Amino acid sequence: MTGAEALREAVARLRAAGVADPARDARILLAHALGVDRVRLTLVLPEKLPASARARLEAAVAARAARQPVAQITGRRAFFGRDFKVTPQVLDPRPETEVLVRACLDLPGESLLDLGTGSGCILLTWLAERPGARGVGVDASKAALAVARENARALGVESRADFLLSDWFEAVEGRFDLIASNPPYVSAAEMQVLAPEVRKWEPAAALTPGGDGLNACRTIVRRAPDFLHPGGWLAMEIGASQGGEVSALFRQAGLEDIRTLPDLDGRDRVVTGRLPGNR
């Protein structure tokens, strides 16, 4: 069997399983099985598929047909131009979260607290883009923190990143120029209609706090002023329908200069606000 034949077979299996973009995913999985860059895949498609690669492809396609996310199968996800390790213990970094990173990069500051750091994609991207800055990544999951530490080493920013096992602010000390978070914000009702790739395979605690989806947001916004320097900023990713409610929470916490930023589809995605005062 050639690579091209294996690719056609994989596309057919993924299409039958209801995968949204079977051709794209099959190419990613075949490149992963062969250990080649996707841009080189076309060059090797006419060649006979080695038995070892065929076995790896079979396992990968079976996992994807069961709707396991591609990033979990390959163990990697591109985010903000960098490669991050991904496991079932962390959220798969999404393009929407790049809006949060860009917002943080547009704000002043040399210290950042990342609440619910997961893979570390927010904190570590910010550190990589801002040499000399320091930050702390907080998560309630030891497994997630292990992934974040590995990503920090791979990106060469481990000397400027600290990681802390904590339920939001509980073990945090000191104040920061910026606090960023992509908290669980999916409501209990919305969880029921998410794609199986998300609902069945990603950590539920990182997706939803239950109820209306805003309990984690409420906790973070209420306590953030106690951990910000005067003039410091809070930046938070939100659900597309939550801009008004989260902005109101920012105002209730005494934050100023509140803005709601859209994602590439024009939906509300990030809210930012500043603690009054000057450093």
The predicted-structure confidence for 126-141, as pLDDT tens digits, reads as follows: 999 999 999 999 999 9
Q: Which residues, in sequence order, are CB contacts of 227 under 8 Å at separation 6+? A: 113, 169, 172, 174, 175, 176, 179
Q: How far apart are CA 90 and CA 215, in angstroms?
A: 20
pLDDT score, position 49:
94
Give which of 134, 161, 177 is closest to 275, Cα–Cα.
Answer: 177
DSSP state of 136: E
DSSP secondary structure of 137-192: EEES-HHHHHHHHHHHHHHT-GGGEEEEE-STTTT--S-EEEEEE------HHHHT
Tell me how crowded residue 78 is: count the other CB atoms within 10 A of its CB.
11
Find how far residue 263's CA is from the centre of its chain: 14
pLDDT score, position 23:
97
Token pair for residue 141? 């999951």
pTM, two decimals, is 0.94
Give which of 43, 40, 39, 55 is closest to 6, Cα–Cα.
Answer: 55
Token pair for residue 39? 């841009």
DSSP secondary structure of 38-52: GGGHHHHTTSBPPHH
Token pair for residue 228? 């910000």
pLDDT score, position 211:
95
pLDDT tens for each residue of the chain, 279 residues long: 999 999 999 999 999 999 999 999 999 999 999 999 988 999 999 999 999 999 999 999 999 999 999 999 999 999 999 999 999 999 999 999 999 999 999 999 999 999 999 999 999 999 999 999 999 999 999 999 999 999 999 999 999 999 999 999 999 999 999 999 999 999 999 999 999 999 999 999 999 999 999 999 999 999 999 999 999 999 999 999 999 999 999 999 999 999 999 999 999 999 999 999 986
Give which of 68, 163, 54, 180 is closest to 114, Cα–Cα.
Answer: 180
Q: How far apart are CA 11 and CA 173, in angstroms?
A: 51
pLDDT score, position 278:
84
pLDDT score, position 87:
96
pLDDT score, position 20:
94
DSSP secondary structure of 87-108: -TTS----HHHHHHHHHHHHS-
Strand partners, 2: 48
- Phi/psi for 255 (5° steps) reads -80, 155
**Does residue 213 contact residue 184 with C-beta atoms inside 8 Å?**
yes
